[in-house]
Homo-oligomer: A and B are copies of this chain.
Amino acid sequence: MEKETARIEAFSDAVFAIAVTLLVLELHVPEFNEGKNPAALLHALCAQWPGYVAFIISFFTIFIMWVNHHKLFKQIYKRNTGLMFANGLILFLASLVSFPSSLLSQFFRTPSEQIAVSIYTGMFVLVNIAYNWLWYEACKDNGLLRPGLGAGDIRKIRNDNLYGLPAYLAAFALSFYFPTTALIICLLLWGFWVRSSKKLEIEN
């Protein structure tokens, strides 16, 4: 059976790839004059550390989003309009991810960290909803999935995505009072996505 979603995947790959690469533009090479004094240059480079953290967070966030996108689309063979717009929402959020990440790295450990953490966790509530919507659209009309994909696998993928929702909602709610705890939940969830992508792969 022909895979109808090749061009959707190509377009999505390009959006993820650009989103992942653009952040380097936020890293600035210090001015030439600072070269006269090695200590000043080192200082200028170190002062940029929130930018490095944002770069690393954003890169791996988008990369894991791509890995999961890749896993889901390995099971999706046909498309409908709902699927295209659910995917559109995922890409919209992927291209936006660098903004809350920069915000977080800039304002973490400042009096404003609660705002940054709430925006950051709120973002991932939306990301999770978009992935749930995508899988819902793919399953609703059974013909969209890879022929031969078992009901157990379909349920497993759905559950992995669904279980994320209350976790992200909890992180979002906690972020208003305990920003650090909310962030730790987010980090643990990244570990969960890496693990869940691993299991899916072994099964297929």
Do A66 and B11 have beta carbons less than 8 Å apart? yes
Chain B positions within 8 Å of A16 at CB level: 11
Do A13 and B21 have beta carbons less than 8 Å apart? no
- Distance (whole angstroms) from the CB of A53 to the closest CB of chain B: 13
Classify chain A: how many residues form its interface, as a range.
35 or more
Chain B CB within 8 A of A114 CB: yes
By secondary structure, the A interface counts as: helix
Q: Which residue of B lies closest to A19 (CB)?
A: B21
Instruction: Pick out which of these stretches binds chain B: A36-44, A127-135, A160-168, A181-189.
Output: A36-44
Do B7 and A13 have beta carbons less than 8 Å apart? yes
Chain B positions within 8 Å of A112 at CB level: 34-38, 41
This chain: how many copies in the complex? Answer: 4
For A9, A17, A102, which residue has the most chain B Cβ atoms within 10 angstroms?
A: A17
Chain B positions within 8 Å of A198 at CB level: 81
Chain B CB within 8 A of A149 CB: no
Residue of B17, B24, B35, B45 near A111 (CB, 8 A) is B35
10 additional A-B residue pairs with CB within 8 Å, beyond A29-B102, A81-B194, A81-B201: A9-B10, A11-B17, A21-B22, A27-B99, A35-B106, A35-B107, A36-B111, A42-B115, A63-B88, A63-B91
